[in-house]
Chains A and B, each alone.
Chain A
Amino acid sequence: MTTPHTHSPTLLKPAKPVGIIGYGAYVPRFRLPAKEVARVWTGKSGGLPIKEKAVPGLDEDVITMSIEAARNAMKRAQIDPTELRAVWVGSESHPYAVKPTSTLVAEAIGAVPNTQAADWEFACKAGTEALVAAMGLVGSGMGHYAMAIGMDTAQGKPGDALEYTAGAGGGAYILGPAEESLAQINFSYSFVTDTPDFWRREYQKYPEHGMRFTGEPAYFKHITEAATHLMQAAGTTAKDYKWAVFHQPNTKFPQRVAGQLGFSAEQIEPGLLVPVIGNTYAGAAMIGLTATLDIAQPGDRILVVSFGSGAGSDAFDITVTDKITGRAGLAVKTQEYISRRTEIDYATYVRYRGKLAMK
């Protein structure tokens, strides 16, 4: 059930129409099958929430991965990087507690020095949060182009339910005027409450969570509210969208919430990547959308709803334009990253992720 609004929900609609000029994904090569986690921790008993998750290599982190995705986005946007007025990166795994990821990414793609740069934080919706802010920057006319990235090397405590799913990957978007865009973002809507379902305090290595509390009162409540109110205000129903992407912490949750909102399995199929790359936290909704844009056709309408613990959801109503034609092939596609796959065992995963305490 959704909360009745005392006043009509306020859609976030930029003064000037805004759209996606370029987009890019990145998924690291290594894969840890969920059954490997089960082999080590549960004697292979119990159900598996996904098939396998993507694991970053020894020389990868949110900075290097963001650069890869940003470069892919630049290839599709075909703009001069110095025209970017913002480079924003949302993540739960910024390599530094103090020192931005975004300055390094901006430097690497040649966007410095005449640019804004900042790191965003809101659990798993830090990426879409940066996207809403970029809509504001471009839509207000403060800047012509802005880049928003959602990227994570997700943390899960060894043996915890999260270890099966905590994956790595994400997506980068360049926003600009709608008339230049391959997909117009018509409007967004954000729904936020104080709901402590999942958290990681400073100096803690792994997040903690409220187990079943992360389900109904957190994930389902916020996604349902955001999607329902956006569609009500827009006067749309599930049938008006060709595709939909929902935050995906495991396979079941997005499938269930899609069904509850009236979306079919076919509508969420292109963006449902969690079974094969895991939960990429702040990257999850972002990379679900890159995979969907890779196959989208002009005129396709897309609903995207993220979820971040703590908790909130950003919902986006997007319409693909004629300019999408030929863009997907300008950079590595999301599915190409997914099929570029090297399976590793649990021991290798432990080494790559630095889970052995050496001192």
Chain B
Amino acid sequence: MTEVVIAGIGQTEVGEHWDIGLRDLAFLAIQNAVKDSGGLKPQSLFVGNMLAPNLSNQAHLGALLADYAGLLGIEAVTIEAAGASGGAALRQGYLAVASGFVDVALVVGVEKFTDKVGSSVDAALATTGDSDFESIQGMTPAAQAALLMKRYIHEYETPKDAFAGFALTAHANGVANKNAMFRKAIKPETYAKAEMVSDLLNMFDMAPNADGAAALLLTRADLIPSGHQNPLVKIIGSAASSDTLALHDRKDMLYFDTAQISAGKAMKQAGLTLDKINFFEYHDTFGIYAALQLEAVGFAIKGKGWKLAADNEIGLKGKIPCATMGGMKARGFAGGAAGVYQAVDAVTQLRGQAEANQIENAKVGLIQSLGGPASTAVSHILQRL
């Protein structure tokens, strides 16, 4: 199979981009990625987007963005898998290049949350759940996470602030990331005082929804332009898995099967064991999900994922650094772009360009993008060449 490298990365700041729209955001990220690659010209565009038909009244993003980016004529489609849309788009780009049918694939994740405000955003997000059985009862992603959090604390008899460490780490790592929405470290007291969102889940237990776009150019090593300056990063593992949307259909609500399956398959493909992974970009839309991913992937045993955060083993100098550029909690959760931002962050680490956030000897990184409560999980393993 053809080796696939990430030759270009691009991103916009994550935040409230009131003054520009969906297509502008995507274009900015694409422009940055093309420039970063040394001018690669894609033949295929895979757009990761979660809610544009609802939030922005805009479907058919493939052709729209190809046009806006001056790439008319190329193949262009949208990939949607709720919060995992970015990871899923990356996988399609990877498969396209790996298959040999496509020389250069452009992957762009984009979301424009602020086209709507307030409860309309919650209603849009709720469409990613099981409409007939959950959303219709008023369930939203935050409510699902709150239920899981409550169950976790009950089952494993953890302290109530068990998940504080995830927010503290993310905010500490966001300080030096100029593209992060929140660049301020928080104290445990700040976490303790935070306003409740959905019983037990407070403002710091969840990532803020925000606008943003991130882009990647994938190609083969032999097609890298001669002027390319950056160290190359290879995708050595890629896998995805699906589970039920509704929590009541799960055998064990507190075990993210898809996180285990997709990470396991990706590692098998890469021929790696867990101890070879230098850092993990998890999908921390909610602190509880970060804990459940650490457990499912195997960094912690069941019921102990939170301890890694509480003991600061997920910090930049910890056993398994996570959310190294601020994660979704501090950078902001840009919906369908979130999974692409993970790849951008991982490439930044592997190239050694993470500056104040640089992990020593970063050679291999695992990124995992989730849709809903791991109803979809997409895992990729990236390695510095």
- Chain B residues within an 8 Å CB radius of A326: none
Q: Does A95 contact B (CB under 8 A)?
A: no
Cα–Cα distance between A255 and B173 once the two chains are bound (Å): 30
CB proximity to B under 8 Å, residues A18-68: 45-47
In contact, B195 and A46 (Cβ under 8 angstroms): yes
Mask, B49-72, CB within 8 Å of A = 1, is 000000000000000000000000
Residues of B with C-beta under 8 A to A47: 195
Of the 9-residue stretches A74-82, A141-149, A208-216, which lies at the interface with chain B? A208-216
B196: which A residues are within 8 A, CB to CB? 45
* Complex Cα–Cα for A216 and B211 (A): 15
Assembly CA distance A211 to B16 (angstroms): 12
Alpha-carbon gap, A213 to B195, bound state (A): 21
Are A211 and B195 CB-contacts (below 8 A) given A216-B16, A216-B18, A217-B19?
A: no
Contacts of A212 in B (CB 8 A): 16, 114, 117
Q: Complex Cα distance A76/B195, Å?
A: 48
Chain A nearest CB: distance from B208 CB in Å? 11
Q: Are A213 and B117 in contact (CB under 8 A)?
A: yes
Would A211 and B118 count as touching, CB distance under 8 A? yes
Chain B, residues 94-122, CB within 8 Å of chain A (1/0): the string is: 00000000000000000000100110000
> CB-CB contacts of A136-173 with B at 8 A, as 1s and 0s?
00000000000000000000000000000000000000
Contacts of A210 in B (CB 8 A): 117
Assess the A217–B117 pair: CB atoms within 8 A.
no
What residues of chain B lie closer than 8 Å to A213, measured between beta carbons?
18, 114, 117
Interface readout for B184-214 with A: 1 if CB under 8 Å, 0 if not?
0000000000011000000000000000000
Task: Check A217–B195 contact: CB distance below 8 A.
Answer: no
Q: How many residues of B contact A (CB 8 A)?
A: 8
Considering only CB atoms, which chain B residue lies closest to A161 in the complex?
B118
Q: Which of A200-235 contact B (CB under 8 A)?
A: 210-213, 216-217
Q: What size tier do the contact residues of chain A reach?
A: under 10
Measured between alpha carbons, how far is A45 from B198 in the docked complex, in Å?
Answer: 12
Looking at chain B's contact residues, is the secondary structure mostly helix, strand, loop, or mixed?
A: loop
If over half of A's interface residues share one DSSP class (helix, strand or loop), that class is named, otherwise mixed; here it is: helix
- Of all chain B residues, the one with the shortest Cβ separation from A218 is B18
Q: How far is the CA of A212 from the CA of B19 in the complex (A)?
A: 13
Q: Convert A217-258 into 0s and 1s, putting 1 for each residue whose CB lies closer than 8 angstroms to a CB of B.
A: 100000000000000000000000000000000000000000
Complex interface: chain A residues within 8 A of B118 (CB): 211
Question: In the complex the two chains form, what is the Cα distance from A217 to B196 in whole Å?
Answer: 27
Bound CA–CA A213/B196 (angstroms): 22
Q: Which residues of A contact B195 (CB under 8 A)?
A: 45-47
Residues of A close to B19: CB separation below 8 A: 217
| A46 to B202 CA separation, bound complex (whole angstroms) | 12
Within the assembled complex, what's the spacing in Å between the Cα atoms of A47 and B18? Answer: 25
Closest to A215 in B: B16
Q: How far is it, in angstroms, between the C-alpha of A217 and the C-alpha of B211 when the chains are bound?
A: 15
Contacts of A217 in B (CB 8 A): 18-19
A217 to B17, CA, bound (A): 10
Chain B stretch 333-360: residues in CB contact (< 8 A) with chain A: none
- Chain A residues lying within 8 Å of B18, measured Cβ to Cβ, are 213, 216-217
Complex Cα spacing A46 to B193, Å:
11
Q: Which residue of chain B has its CB nearest to the CB of A197?
A: B18
Output the least CB separation between B125 and chain A (Å).
16
A43 to chain B, nearest CB (A): 11
Q: Say how far B285's CB is from chain A's closest CB, in angstroms.
A: 19
Shortest distance between the CB of B56 and any CB in chain A (Å): 15
Instruction: Compute how far the CA of A45 lies from the CA of B202 in the bound complex, rounded to whole angstroms.
Output: 13
Chain B residues closer than 8 Å to A46, beta-carbon distance: 195
Residues of chain B contacted by A211 (CB below 8 angstroms): 117-118
Give B117-157 interface residues, CB cut-off 8 Å to A.
117-118
Closest-CB distance, B112 to chain A (whole angstroms): 13
Q: How far is B181's CA from A216's CA once the two chains are assembled, in angstroms?
A: 14
A47 CA to B203 CA, complexed, in Å: 13
CB distance from B62 to the nearest CB of A (A): 29
Nearest chain B residue, comparing its CB with the CB of A195? B18
- Complex: A47 Cα to B16 Cα, angstroms: 22
In chain A, what residue has the closest Cβ to B121? A211
Q: Which residue of A lies closest to B117 (CB)?
A: A211
Q: In the complex, A45→B118 CA distance in Å?
A: 18
Report chain A residues within 8 Å CB of B16.
212, 216
Task: State A237–B195 Cα separation when bound (angstroms).
Answer: 38
Please, could you name 17 A-B residue pairs with CB atoms under 8 Å apart, sorted by A? A45-B195, A45-B196, A46-B195, A47-B195, A210-B117, A211-B117, A211-B118, A212-B16, A212-B114, A212-B117, A213-B18, A213-B114, A213-B117, A216-B16, A216-B18, A217-B18, A217-B19
The 8 closest A-B pairs by CB, nearest first: A211-B117, A217-B18, A211-B118, A210-B117, A213-B117, A213-B18, A46-B195, A212-B117
Further pairs besides A211-B117, A212-B114, A216-B16: 5, Cβ < 8 Å: A45-B196, A210-B117, A211-B118, A217-B18, A217-B19
